[in-house]
Structure formats: C-alpha cells, structure tokens
A = this chain, B = another copy of it.
Amino acid sequence: MAQPKQERAEQTRRALLHAAAEVFDEYGYAGASITRILKRAGVTAGALYFHFGSKEDLAKAVMNSQPETLVPLVAAGGLQRLIDLTLVWSWQLQRDPLLRAGVRLTNEQTSAEGPANADPYEKFRAIMTGYLQEAQEDGELQPGVDPAVVAEFVVAACTGMQMYSNVVSGRRDLPERTQQMWNLILPGIAVPSVITRAEATPARGAAMMP
C-alpha cells in the first residue's frame, strides 16, 4: 500500500536528521560536508533543501532534537522525573548519535565556525522547570526554592560534567558524576522524605535505556 505523501516526507526528514547527526557527531560542524550527509541519508540535494534551508538550519534542528532522545524514556513523577532525565542523558550520550551530535554542535558554539543557538540550553531548562514545578506542587521542594533557578543550574552542571567526563574518560564515568551531582544538590532543594527516597544510581539509568 502506498504511503501518504506527508508520511514519506516525514520519513525523509528523519533520515536526513539522523544522517546529519552521525556526520556532525563524527566530524563536527566545520568538517561535516553536505555531500557526505546526502550520501549517508541516501537522498537528493533537492530533498535536503526542501526540508532544511541550509547546513546551519540542519545543525540547529540536530541541536534542538536533544530532548526528544530522552523525554520519552522517563516515566516517574516530580523530582524523580528530573533525576531520571539526567540519568538517561548520562547513558544516551555514550551511544545515541542524535544526542551526541546535538551536544557537540552546542559545545562548538564557543568557536566562530558553528551557528550560535541558545535553544538547546533553554529547551532543557523549560522541560526541567516544568518537572520542578510539578515537584513543588507535590510538596517535594523546600520552601523558597525557585524551579527556574534550579533548572538553569542543572542544565549548566550537566553541560560541564559531560565536557570534563569526555576529556578524562570518553564519558564512561558520566553516570557516576550524575549521581554525585544529585548527592550534592538534593540537600539544598528537596524535603527530607524526598531526599531519602530519591534514587540517582547509574544502574537506575541503565535500566531505563531503550
């Protein structure tokens, strides 16, 4: 049975996004050629420019896809949901090309070559702020804790942890670092009962992987 036109277009778009992610992950923004991306995706230049106006647009789409690789994997509620998001991130970053490329392109923005895009940070901050607001409504946070400030800090801390971890261990120690982050932050934000039952072990993250 023939696929509807819209569905085929969406498949092509996703094939392009994933092929671009693999090439960006491997070569970085400057080293990723359009030719290589087209070859990897098995599509024409016309299809690329139909879906993405330029290499920069494609890079932005990859950068902005980071949350999609994580959010569907977390199911718990409240503060544990935020912890779980960071745990699956710490494992997915070792294997998912779309997430890896998104992080690499976001990091490369300090250098002049890459496109400047604050969206990856702000998207994660918005998602985490939502989880923390839910935690607040459920009485899991200490009085006076601002969900947006905590979310902003967790995004920053995760950004730095993956960079440091990448240089010293190729990110293999990232799940342990993530657990240590929560050991340090939870006492300043959560009520005692939540600190006791919260779980941030690497094993919990590994069990949630697809």
Contacts and interface: CB of A to CB of B under 8 A. Distances in A.
B164 A121 contact: yes
Interface stretch (A13-21, A84-92, A109-117, A129-137): A109-117
Contact of A157 (B109, B113, B118, B157): B157
A61 interface: no
Chief secondary structure at chain A's binding surface: helix
A163 interface: yes
B153 A180 contact: yes
A87 to B, nearest CB: 16
The complex is assembled from copies of this chain, and their number is 2
Interface in A150-196: 150, 152-153, 155-161, 163-168, 177, 180-181, 183-189
B153 A118 contact: no
Interface residues of A, number: 45
A30 interface: yes
Contacts of A153: 157, 161, 177, 180-181, 184
Contact of A155 (B27, B150, B164): B164
Interface of A: 27-31, 104, 107-113, 116-118, 121-122, 149-150, 152-153, 155-161, 163-168, 177, 180-181, 183-189
A99 B183 CA distance: 30
Nearest to A109: B167
